[in-house]
Chains A and B, each alone.
Chain A
Amino acid sequence: MSLPVPVFEARNLQVIRGGSLILNVPALTIADGEMLSIIGPNGAGKSTLLQTLAALIKPSCGEVLFRGQKIGAEIPMLAYRRKLAMILQEPLLFDTTVFNNVASGLKLRGLKRHEYEPIVVKCLDRFGIAHLGDRSARSLSGGEARRTSIARAFATEPEVLLLDEPFSALDPIIREALLEDLEQVLRETRITTIFVTHDRQEALRLSSRLGVMMAGEILQEGSPQEIMKRPVNEFVATLVGIETIVAAEVVRRKPDTFVASVAGHEIEAVGGSDAGEQVLLCIRSENIALSSPDTEVPPHPKNFFCGRIKKITPLWLHQRVQLDCGFPVVAYVTNQSLTAFPLAEGMEVAVSFNPTDVCVIPNGSIVKTGNQ
């Protein structure tokens, strides 16, 4: 039984601008109905990747196949572009009514008024902007403009949806509402989607597959949980929100675990690293427990040591506690825990975490791509 043809297949994709390689993706495959989120810092090449997949940028070398056909060679550019829809960071609406904006993709394809009118009406309705049909696009609020641009993209019934940081400029409430709507539409229509963002919450929420990009390359690809638990290197670890990364040297091996030493403390972690190896240990902040130094029952007996609180930053749902244990540690404490165990800057506390929550990166590991 042969595998279904992937919607996208990129091979040896490279884009060179001004002498430097700004995109370097040896291989990337996206299956039908799949939703891939790509996160990365500014300048990572996320937009470039998206635009290259959309055939808006010509790659310096390599090719993209759409359903097995080479774009440009086997499938004409225009026909290909008309199968996809792209939503960019700014709504980029045209200076006309909301109705005409949503109809613009259809008008470009040569549909007559009586043909596109029902489609547009349905779209306006679906995205909750039916009451704005006659309004000028220039007079819309941020959220309304965004909805209009989304409606415009969906009006053409694309096979592929490409989104480039579509919600970054919106306030949280509007963003939330739009995310909900988008989620629902995508679930209903099962359109193949590539979603680029620098907000990892959005990425985690929308997709089952995550790609982490940096300096033009895809560092790691996989399910969000996988990447969070096993980041392939320090950059990825930081990008997925790991805030405690400690460089240590392995001192001894145990059957399933090993012990590494740093700043006079010993940390046990699950893994097979040998004595003498340099490793990076990553611990997610929510997995670090804080307790009183002379508590009788430490939360995690195996990794338990003292530290001093340097700074407490209140975040919305929890507090971010920065500690110094000889090496920097960041822990998150819920507001509830704080009522039971109040903390203050300068306090001496005990830090503990489970060896299974420690993720190991062999130190100096090179950026790997596509570990599928």
Chain B
Amino acid sequence: MSRRGPDYGKSWHKFSKNYLSQVGLGVVALVAFVAIFAPYIAPYPSHAGFFVDYPEAHESPNWVHIFGTDQFGRDVLSRIMFGFRYSLMMAVVVLSLVVPLGVVLGLVAGYYRGGKVEMIIMRGADIFLAVPPLVLALSICSVLTPSVFNAMMAVSLMWWPWYTRLVYSISSSLRNEPFVQAAEIAGASPFHIIFREILPNCLGPILTKVTLDAGWVILIGASLSFVGLGAQPPIPDLGTMVSDGANFLPEQWWVSLFPALTIVLIILGFNLLGDGVRDLFAAETV
């Protein structure tokens, strides 16, 4: 059952046949592109920060302001584009912290099955998972000063157990497979076994989860800002925009609706992409 990682050429070929995943990839690439180049392609880059232009306030969508303007006269489209930066940054930072930590913990817990190490790690994970993720994130953010950075730290603090659990279940079931035992008999160190024998078999589920999680992390970030515990005004975070705009429903619906729709778009994109990644790895094990 041991595989040394996927065959990239074949994988890409298979992936390119999957229409829906291509759409997902396209959406994600678009979001990333917009996020990176926001200062250059946004129609009104200065609106992303503190900016006031009351005569232009509350304009409904028109050719000058495609998504309309908010209560301060700021162009909604530009702010959304800058908002993508914060969303993607959250996903990248959180996952970069969480995935290595969570995966390593899961590998170790699965390898040292039945020992104290496993117990400590998995019970710890269970405790963090005892409440819905958002609740824990909210409470952590609430005791700190609300900011983008703190929001990222809070989400990271409660996101790692998911990866630990995922990797643990794979790693502990592989633990007693013949190929692992063969490596042990041959004198391989635990380090080698964990990272060279067991880990490659976890790559598929991990990558799938990372892709799907990007969308969910962005959503949690937006939820935190929505409540007011994440990014603070005037930062154009998508969640903040939705909650600010909610005050002006239903007359100035565009202020709230467009950021909300882009959140949906981002999640959809990552979901489609994630499904494609999953199919990629699933088909390999025939």
State yes or no: do A and B come from one complex: no
Q: Which residues of B contact A (CB under 8 A)?
A: none
Q: Which residues of A contact B (CB under 8 A)?
A: none
